[in-house]
Amino acid sequence: MRAPIHGLLLIALAGLAAGAPAAAYGQSASGQTIRAVRTDRPPTIDAVLDEPFWQRIEPITDFRQRVPVDGAPASERTELRVAFDDNNLYFAIVLHDSDPEGIRRSILHREGRIDQDDNIRIGLDTYNDKRNAYIFEINPFGTQGDALITDESMTLADWNWEGVYESEGRITDEGWVVEAAVPFTTIRFADTDAPEMGILMERTIRRKNEMVYFPHIGQEFRQGLTQVSQYATLTGLEGLRRGRYMELKPFAIAGRSTVGRRGDIDPETETLNDLGLDFKYSITSNLTLDATLNPDFAQVEADNVQINLTRFSLFFPEKREFFLERAGLFDFGDAQETVVFFSRRIGIANDIAGGGRLTGQAGPLSVGALSLMTDDARDAEGRVVSGGLNSVLRLRTDPFPRTTVGGIFTSLDTGDGHNRVVGGDLQVRFGGSSFVQGWVARSSGGPGVGEASASTAASIEADLRSSLLSAGAGFTRIPDDFSPALGFVRRRDMQRLTGSVAVFPRFERSRWARQLIVVGNGEHITGLDGVKQTTVLLNHNMLTFQTGDRAMLNIRRRSESLRTPVRIQGRELAAGDYVFNRAEFRFNTNDSREFSARGGLSAGGFWGGNRTELSIGGMWKTGPHLTIGGDYAWNDVSLPVDDGDFTTRLTGVTILGAISRSLFANALVQYDDVSNVVQANVRIDWIHTPGSDLFVVFDTGYLTGDLLDPRTERWQRRTGVVKLTYLKAF
């Protein structure tokens, strides 16, 4: 692996000599302010800035590039104005463009991939705590996306949060215009007479792949948008709406669900007709209570099918609205590896009868508390799965700037017993994007069966980063009996030591190359007895082009020591030592184009045999009303066991249709030849008033393979559901 690393490092150094970053341009978030101006007459949110008060506000125009040339003046002028009244915060943004025909816009459905279009993102650190923020994303249609930042970090799941606000966009002869109104009831902020907030605006000019900021956040801050400590300050706010705020969101559902016969398990048909209620109440301006009675998640998008070619469990992200607001506050542990609270543990196997959720600020503390009761249920084999009380308490505070200390307590009580977890964590962020973080947690009781076990897991990690280099190391210890019943643990009985170094030069003067990322990392895992289990050496290389296309090359060497046999797709591998090398090439073209493609090829050893993987996918944007995408993945595997030669195929087709910003649909059709099931999920959403929806959902599964038991029906499930929600605010 040394040759590829050394070769790519030489390329990087040559790039630095030929296309090194231009001289730094001066602008710092320190001291940058935006003053909001009070208006007595609320504007009409139509992207026509004909209200006289907009013209009296001096716009913010000093937007600077983050890419391609860090700190350079923006190539197109942007004007930002901010106003407010007792109830709303208003934004007027004029986005000049020398080529209005080149403005890219294709997304009408809410929470779609708005980043594929020209877009703006507004970040609001409403408590001015320099670590948490709301994100409001808008494209030239006025289509909305929104997200939450917690402790200067975010994941894809954070984009599933949906706030209620108004926005409109409009193309003009000189570019495009956005007008937006964010109700003070949608955001939480400090209970003071004149609150100050952190603010940032990001603009993306898609055809140029240019991203500009106010205030400028340089490349030394690797994450850009999430670096809340670098936001400017929004001043001038006063006399904002105070007191209590309450939302009622009742729902009604009607439909029919049929599960086909499976062997000797009788078919089941259920008529769905039910009522439920979601309730939101602002106990203070900083603390919000969410309660739910008889919730239903029929409208939630289906999971993408994954074929498991590992010996560990797969991770599926949370998509249910009730769990999403400030979901990052509840994060504890190592994402997708060892998580003390994983909300998908609640209400998947057992229906939720009801419960509540408290989030917000109590003085210097960030507070997250959740308690939900689940009903008993039966699994696919007819066995009883006990319900119970699921509870979580999460606290965080900042004793020093960019330093977060927290604690967590989780509890599951069922008729079979109980499980408890208590833990604490610490994160210190410094410099640009450098950090030191760690956590420790102790579980007691079994995973719902009342065993008197107790076990402690812990992790610590450090990463030093600049705009060019990074180096990191970490250590994690997970005992075999560490068992958070409301969490997710991919791998137990392990001590893992990791280390990494990376270089990521940018070529600001190059006509074709934008950035090269070269990473070398290693992983050494033993059992708690010190016996080696796994080692991994990885060389990751990715080149980003000025066109927005990307190419990636990975070279990996892995060794595994199995003390007991394991199964890979039902094939048993004998205990012993395995060493295998793999190489992988992947590419992605710019997905803002009408046609885009992605794919990859990997080959090499696999558990004493061989594995070749080919994947290909593409997307066609016929216009704003229809987008069609497809993916195909093929694995050819040869293992040194009986029946060890097999292939897997996974095919998926996605269709996104939109009549308007308030009426849209998506369909996901998937097939894999492991389960031999064709799965189809169709979801139609009509937003009849802001925050209120009419959903029509169809979900089916059809077995295409051989019937091992002739009594099994091919239609495994057929469900049709209509769900109506209505949001009433007081």
pLDDT in tens, 371-395: 999 988 776 666 777 889 999 999 9
Q: Are strands 144-149 and 175-183 parallel, antiparallel or unpaired?
A: unpaired
How far apart (Å, rounded) are the C-alpha atoms in residues 85 and 36? 10
Q: Which residues contact 666 (CB under 8 A, 6 or more apart)?
A: 109, 301, 654, 655, 656, 657, 682, 683
Residue type, 380: A
Say what the alpha-carbon torsion angle 156, 157, 161, 162 is, to the nearest 10 degrees.
Answer: 60
Taken in order 432, 407, 335, 532, the sign of the CA dihedral is positive
Question: E-strand spans in 576-623?
Answer: 576-588, 595-606, 609-623
3-state secondary structure of 206: helix
How far apart (Å, rounded) are the C-alpha atoms in residues 482 and 491? 10
Predicted local confidence at residue 189, as pLDDT:
87
3-state secondary structure of 279: strand
* Cross-strand partners of 543: 516, 551
Q: Are strands 144-149 and 166-172 parallel, antiparallel or unpaired?
A: unpaired
Say what the alpha-carbon torsion angle 501, 503, 504, 510 is, to the nearest 10 degrees.
Answer: -160
How far apart (Å, rounded) are the C-alpha atoms in residues 658 and 665? 6
Predicted local confidence at residue 316, as pLDDT:
56
DSSP letter at 208?
A: G
Predicted local confidence at residue 558, as pLDDT:
95
8 Å CB contact between 512 and 549? no
Closest by alpha carbon to 502, among 520, 490, 514, 516? 520
8 Å CB contact between 493 and 477? no
Predicted local confidence at residue 318, as pLDDT:
67
8 Å CB contact between 508 and 467? no
How far apart (Å, rounded) are the C-alpha atoms in residues 681 and 668? 5
Predicted local confidence at residue 15, as pLDDT:
37
User: Tokens 């180096």 appear where?
Assistant: 471
8 Å CB contact between 213 and 202? yes
Assess whether the previous peptide bond of 640 is cis (omega < 30° from 0).
Answer: no
Predicted local confidence at residue 360, as pLDDT:
85
Predicted local confidence at residue 386, as pLDDT:
82
Total-model pTM: 0.84
Residue 100 tokens, joined: 């209005």
Closest by alpha carbon to 515, among 67, 24, 207? 67
Predicted local confidence at residue 186, as pLDDT:
87
Closest by alpha carbon to 180, among 143, 224, 205, 130? 143
Closest by alpha carbon to 696, among 272, 258, 317, 323? 272
How far apart (Å, rounded) are the C-alpha atoms in residues 459 and 439? 5
Q: Give average pLDDT by consecutive 10-residue segment, the chain, 730 residues.
A: 37 36 43 92 96 96 96 97 96 98 94 93 94 95 93 80 92 97 88 92 97 95 91 94 75 86 73 86 83 70 52 58 78 90 83 88 88 81 80 94 94 90 95 94 72 85 94 97 91 96 94 96 95 96 97 97 88 92 97 96 95 97 96 95 93 96 95 92 92 91 82 85 88
8 Å CB contact between 17 and 508? no
Predicted local confidence at residue 20, as pLDDT:
38
Residue 230 main-chain phi, psi, to 5 deg: -105, 5
3-state secondary structure of 43: coil
Residue 390 main-chain phi, psi, to 5 deg: -110, 120
Residue 29 main-chain phi, psi, to 5 deg: -65, -25
